Structure formats: C-alpha cells, structure tokens
A and B are shown apart, each in its own frame.
Chain A
Amino acid sequence: MATMTAEEMLSIEARHPQVFRRPAYKRFGPLLLFVGTLLYLVYALWFFSLPQVLRESHWERLPLFLTQWISYDLQPEFRLDQPEIMPKYPRFSALGDNPNPDWVIKNADGSFTVRIDGQAKSVTFDKTYATIVANGQTVPVALTSGKPVVSGPVPDWMTVHDDEVVAKMGFVGEVRVTVDRVKVRKRFLGWANFVFDTRSPFFGKSVGQVISLIISGPELKPGTSNLALAGDNIWNNAQWQHGDVWTKLLQTIVMAFLGTLLGGIVAFPLAFFAARNITPSGVLSQVLKRFFDFMRSVDMLIWALFFTRAFGPGPLAGSAAIFFTEIGTLGKVYSEGLENIDDKPREGVLSTGANGLLVQRYGVMPEVIPIFISQTLYQWESNTRGATIIGAVGAGGIGLKLWEAMRTNSNWANVFYMVLLILLVVFIFDNISNFLRRRLSRTIHDYNRIQAQQG
C-alpha cells in the first residue's frame, strides 16, 4: 500500500478545511456531552442512594417469586405430640376438604413417609426418630432428647437450629423437623385448581368424568343442568376468580376504546380550527393549540384521580381520563396532519364555488382521513397498554386487581395469569391495529405515488 507524503496530506487538508478544522464546539461537543452524562449519572447514584438500596435489597426473593408464578405448594404438618400422628393441611389447601395424596404414606408400624421427590427425596418419621433422604444421602435425626439431634455429619443442604432442623431440597420443597412436629412443603409445577375449585362438585374429577357428567350424568345440584353448574363453578372459581378477572380485563379494553374514540370525535372538528392553513382566525388557532397542550400536560394520572373522585372508582373514570388526555394528543396530531396537506385539491374545490364545509369535505378530508385513522389506531394501541396502569389508582379495569394481588406478595400465580391475559390482549390489539394501519398506509402510499407521478 502506498503511503502518503506529508505534502499530499497537507493538500488534502487544504482542500477540505471543513473536515479538518471544525469549530471548537463541534470538536469538543461529544466529549462534553459524555462528561455531562457521566456527572449526571454519579449525581443520580447519590440522589437515589443506590449503593445503600442495593445493599438492603433481597435478591434471594427474586427466584422464589418467579417460581411461584408457575407453581404451587402443599404444606402438610404432622403433630408428633398427639396420641396418633395425623397429617394436617392448611384450611384452604389446594387439595380440598378431604386430602389423601398418594405421596403421604402411612406405614404398617404407625410411622409416616412423605415422598417429596419420589424415592430420591423423602422423609420418614415416627414420634422418636426421623430419617431424611436427599441428594443420595440418608440423614437420621433423633427426636427424643428435647431437641432434634442429627447423628453423623450434617450435609450442606441441611441447617441445624436450636430447636429445628431444616432440610432444603431445592425447587421440590423442604422439610422442617422439631421434636413435636414435622412440616413438609412440596412444590408442584403448574396452577392448582385452575378450572374447578375445591368447593365444586366437579373438583378432583378427570376430564372424561366431567364431560360424561355434563352430557349424561345425574343433576349434581337439583334444578340446574350440569353444564350450567360447571360454567358457574368455573366463572366463580374462588381462587382464580375467572369471572372477575375477565370482566375487569374487558373494562380495561373498553376504557381504552371509549377514551380514544371519544377523544378522536371531539378532536376532529377542533383540529380544523387549530390548523394554521385552515382556521378562520389565527387567534382561535393559537387558543386551541394551547388548549390541546393543556389537556396533554395535565397528565392522564391527574385526570384519572379527579374523575375517580367525581364518578367513583370504575371504568367510567378511566374512560374519562383517557378521553381528556386524548383530546389533547389527537388534537395536536390531527392539526399537525392538516398543516402538512397539499393545498391544491382545496383550491380546486374552492374554485368551483363550494362553501367552506364542502371544501373541507371534498378538498381536505380524502387526504387526511387515512392519516387520522392511522394515528388514532396508534393511540388506541398505546392506550390499551396505558389503561392497565391507570386502573391501579382506582380508575377501573384490571390494574387495581393486579396491584392488590401483588401487594400481598403471596399470589404471584394469579398475577402471572393476569399478565398472560394482558399480554394476549396487547398482542391481539397490536396485530389488529398494525393490520389496519398497513392497509391504510398502502392507501397513503398510493396517494403519494399518484401525486408524485402527476407532478
């Protein structure tokens, strides 16, 4: 490769001074921006006291919560200080009133075996002695000396406290042993009782049994057909609350739809008066534009809080909040769309002696309607996402339900169920809106092409 001589370099530099001798602000601008950003980040670090927050946070909870999204656990407890050892389940256990799971085995000698993961992870105990099996190790625990005593070496998956021995078995569960009780937590993948809850007469039946009951079985509840009963039981499932969740989801969808549509209806005529090239008076245009800015700048949250107070919590408040914000947003976009139109069709219609309204109808509307619809669909799409969060402040819809379910930190499976539903809705609406907008943009595209061809 040929190397350049110094003269050649200088001559290139002389020919293109704008590349080599740029003003100082252009040369140092990026550097200054970089340093500024860095300084701001350091400030933000201090402002949010990030190191302290991170130190005090509980990251160990994250995997726990995430596993709870897709699994549930059962927690039988065995009292050892009663005359006879009996399993006891929490009151609202997923197994219903009469639990008799096959992984809790009563042996012939009166001792119990609980299989947490088949044979590999289990605990066998009577009143004096417990044997915990996991990870290929068998650990005996004596319960007779007033506190649990592990004989032999303690493996690292086991923790010995003063009065309790805790054996962690990973995802599948754990065993806690004291002298007077054994507590087992066994975790199952999936959602418990998603279709029928424990109070339903269909509970615990296989799919085939349920179907045959619905088709030809005797009436389980006199006076109601089995199909209606099954539908009612699913809809009112106490744990999953399908009926309530779906109604709230519909509310969220309605809020976004109604708010955007009404906003569009109100913003549409106003936009003509706000567009600089169409308005009859410049003052009116300025006033309307500031009005649009006002409606947008008073945040959706403020509107939501106000309307929640005015109408009481519910989708009406949410719709009204989206409606008011949308007047501002759509008014602004519409009027900007109108300001960018081609004036020639208008002049043509005007030259035929048409009055003001007819000029707008035939000279302006054919050009802007596809753009308006496209922008309205875009807002509709983004409001469908936004309506969820507005709901959490009381403006109706699934947001509040989601927030309540999360606040207790115990109902993550329900949260995930609702998240999946929201994702599904957003996905469907995105696709509808994208499809319609693609169709419309083809119209806009064709129009532009024809215009370009005609010069």
Chain B
Amino acid sequence: MTLSVTAPSDGIHQTADTWRRQTSLRRFYTVLGVSLLLAAMLSSMWFADEANAGHFFDRLPHILDFLSWLVPKDWNDVWRALFDIASPRDTGTQEFNFPLGRVYVWGGFYVPEYFELMLTTVNVALVSTFIGFIFAVPFSFIAARNLTPHPALRLVVKRFMELLRAFPEIVIAGLFAAIVSTGPIAAIIAIGLHSIGALGKLFYEINENIDMRAEEGLTAVGANWFERVRFADLPQVLPNFVSYTLLRVEINVRASTIIGAVGGGGIGEELKLSISRGFGAKTLALVLLLFTTIFIIDQFSAWLRRKLVGEQAFMMGA
C-alpha cells in the first residue's frame, strides 16, 4: 500500500491549486509559530536583563576582567591546591592554606581535602540512586497498567511518584537539614526521594511495553503475582532498568553537587565558597577535579549502558 493524496477529479490545475493553497497555509503557520517564539524569546531576554543585578551589555566588556582573578599567579598552585601540598605563598590566608585540609588516614598518608569532598559528593549520588532503585522497582510493577495487582493501587502509586518527582529537592533538603543537621544525609534523603519518582516513572513505562507471553505462561501454571514479576517480567526489563539507573547516577552526581552548594556538604559547597571569594587556584583545582570526575563517570556509564542494551540506551524523550 502506498500513501496517496486524493486528487480532485477534474484536472491537474485544481490539484496544483490545492497543493499551493496547502503549502501557503503551512508556510503561514510556520512563520506565525516562529515569530511567536521569537517574540517570547525577546521579551524573556528583556525581562531577564531587567531583573538581573548587572545588565548584559553593561557587564559584557568586563567579562574578561572577571576571568582575570581566575588566572593564578603561579600555575603550580593549582596542583598544590588539588593535592594539598604547601605553597610558597602560604601566609596563613584562606586562599593558600592548602595543607590545612589534609585528611590523614594512616600515619603520614593523607587524602587531599578536595578528593575527600568529591568522594562525599559521589557517595551521596550513589547511595541516593540505590535508594531510588530499591523503591522504584516494586513501585514500577504496581504502577504498570499491564502488571498492576490492583487498578486503585496503581493510581495511588503513580500519583505518589509524580509528587516525589515534582517536589523541589531543595525543600526536602532544607526540611531535613533542620532535622538531621545540614550535611550529606539531608542531601541523600532529598535526592533519594526524587530518584524514586524519576526512576519509577521510567521503569513503569518500560514495564508497559514488555512481551506479555512469558507472563501468560506463568499465569497458566498458577504462579502468584510475585512469582510472575520475578520470573516473567524482571528478566525482560532488568537490563533497561540498570541502564536507566546508570543514567540516573550521572544526573545525581550533578544534583548532589548543586545540593552541596546550598548546604548539603561535599564539593559543591567548597566550590561556591571558593568562587564567591575569588580564590583562583582553588577554584581551578575544584573545577578540574569536578569536571574530570563527571567526565569519567559519564563515559564509564555510557560504555556500560551500551554493553547492556546497545545504542537504544541513548534515545531520550522521543
């Protein structure tokens, strides 16, 4: 079968006319849409510029001045800051007190401060992703239309996960900061709760697309819900689950850095302090470390996902 446009019976001219009309109508809609988008964009730019403390065109010539503090007087200070080695400039000020942050583990062996902070951030991301995974898996089987034990339960779980996903992480972090004291635990709770919602949604969408024949086979031999999920459904979806969880690890490392910057501890907090005080060498060391870590985690996770589910691991959204 081929797709065909029904042409008016009387003549090729009328066909051409129709075609021309349709094209010009489409062109009109395209132009309208693009100009609306452009208008929205320009007014947004104006609004953002108005509301900002410094204005775009006033600040633009000074962008490079701002970069000047970032260039350290001695490039070796970047390495010294990264590995907590004493700098010849150390006069006790916060800008160059590199060795102060050493975390001694065994005798003279120490972990540099920034590596310790990075480790905290990564651990927050890993633990919260784990929390997300553990809760999202059972939730996703309840929330999937084809597998749910009860439709009402499905609706409750779905709404609950939506709420977790939409609830601003920063509020949960702030609430728990007041309860368990500021620091990584509050960040774990906030990111973990968010991950439950985010992973749960992705998971149940996978579940709704599985091959139901295995499930039917197990139903036929009298398996109960848990057995069906465990032996018919889980083996089909697990590679995809793990792939999405790895993707979530990447997102959560970033989230935990940001939550860190607003009081969740870890490298984000240090970075924020260092940038706001204009410590060039320290900032470069932190950016370098953070960049490398995120890059390595992204690449490793991408490699692992490609091994697990192939190229489809990279289709987002669509």
Contact = CB atoms under 8 A, between A and B. Distances in A.
Contact of A419 (B2, B171, B314): B171
Contacts of B254: 299-301
26 contacts: A44-B127, A53-B181, A251-B47, A257-B40, A258-B48, A298-B287, A299-B290, A300-B254, A311-B54, A314-B53, A314-B54, A374-B318, A378-B316, A378-B317, A379-B317, A388-B168, A389-B169, A389-B170, A392-B261, A393-B261, A393-B262, A393-B272, A396-B48, A403-B174, A407-B174, A409-B178
A390 B56 contact: no
A423 B298 contact: no
Nearest to B124: A48
Contact of B257 (A299, A415, A422): A299
Interface stretch (B12-20, B84-92, B183-191): B183-191
A441 B168 CA distance: 29
A298 B166 contact: no
A437 interface: yes
A316 to B, nearest CB: 4
A319 B275 contact: no
The binding surface of chain B is classed by DSSP as helix
Contacts of A250: 47
A85 B49 CA distance: 56
Nearest to A261: B41
A257 B48 CA distance: 11
Interface stretch (A57-65, A111-119, A357-365): A57-65
Given A302-B287, A305-B272, A316-B52, A258 B45 contact: yes
Interface in A375-423: 375, 377-379, 385, 388-390, 392-393, 396, 399, 402-403, 406-407, 409, 415, 419, 422-423
Contact of A40 (B126, B167, B287): B126
Interface string B157-169: 0000001001111
A382 to B, nearest CB: 9
A2 interface: no
Shortest 7 CB-CB contacts between residues of A and residues of B? A314-B52, A312-B53, A312-B54, A378-B317, A406-B174, A316-B52, A57-B180
Interface in A332-354: 333, 336-337, 340
Interface string A271-297: 000000000000000000000011011
Given A58-B180, A310-B63, A385-B168, 20 more contacts: A44-B123, A53-B183, A251-B47, A251-B48, A254-B47, A299-B290, A301-B258, A301-B268, A302-B287, A306-B275, A312-B53, A312-B54, A340-B311, A388-B170, A396-B52, A402-B168, A406-B170, A406-B175, A415-B171, A419-B167
B317 A375 contact: yes
Contacts of B188: 48
B126 A293 contact: no
B181 A56 contact: yes
Nearest to B184: A48
B37 interface: yes
Contacts of B255: 389
Contacts of B62: 310
Contacts of A311: 52-56, 59
A437 B205 CA distance: 15
A41 interface: yes
A378 B318 CA distance: 8
Which of B1, B180, B311, B318 gathers most chain A CB within 10 Å?
A: B318
Interface string B174-210: 1100111101110010000000000000000000000
Contacts of A144: none
A427 B291 CA distance: 33
Given A57-B179, A61-B178, A378-B316, A47 B268 contact: no
B225 interface: no
A393 B184 contact: no
A255 interface: yes
Nearest to A250: B47
B163 to A, nearest CB: 8
A374 B317 CA distance: 7
Interface residues of B, number: 67
Given A375-B318, A441-B318, A58 B170 contact: no
A309 interface: yes
Contacts of B272: 305, 393
B1 A453 contact: yes
Nearest to B296: A297
A294 B299 CA distance: 12
B142 interface: no
B276 interface: yes
A333 B185 CA distance: 34
Interface in B276-318: 276, 287, 290-291, 294-295, 298, 311, 314, 316-318
Contact of A301 (B130, B163, B175, B271): B271
B220 interface: no
Given A312-B59, A419-B168, A423-B166, A317 B52 contact: yes
Interface in B36-68: 37, 40-41, 44-45, 47-49, 51-56, 59, 62-63, 66
Contacts of B174: 402-403, 406-407, 415
> Which of B3, B268, B317: most chain A Cβ within 10 A?
B317
Interface in B222-269: 254-255, 257-259, 261-262, 268
A296 B302 CA distance: 14
Contact of A58 (B37, B179, B298): B179
A94 interface: no
A200 B255 CA distance: 42
A422 B168 contact: yes
A309 B69 CA distance: 11
B2 A454 contact: yes
A27 B149 CA distance: 31
Contacts of A406: 170-171, 174-175, 178
Interface in A186-238: none
A379 B37 CA distance: 17
A251 B51 contact: yes
Contacts of A293: 295, 298
A247 B295 CA distance: 36
B48 to A, nearest CB: 4
A341 to B, nearest CB: 13
Contacts of A298: 287, 291
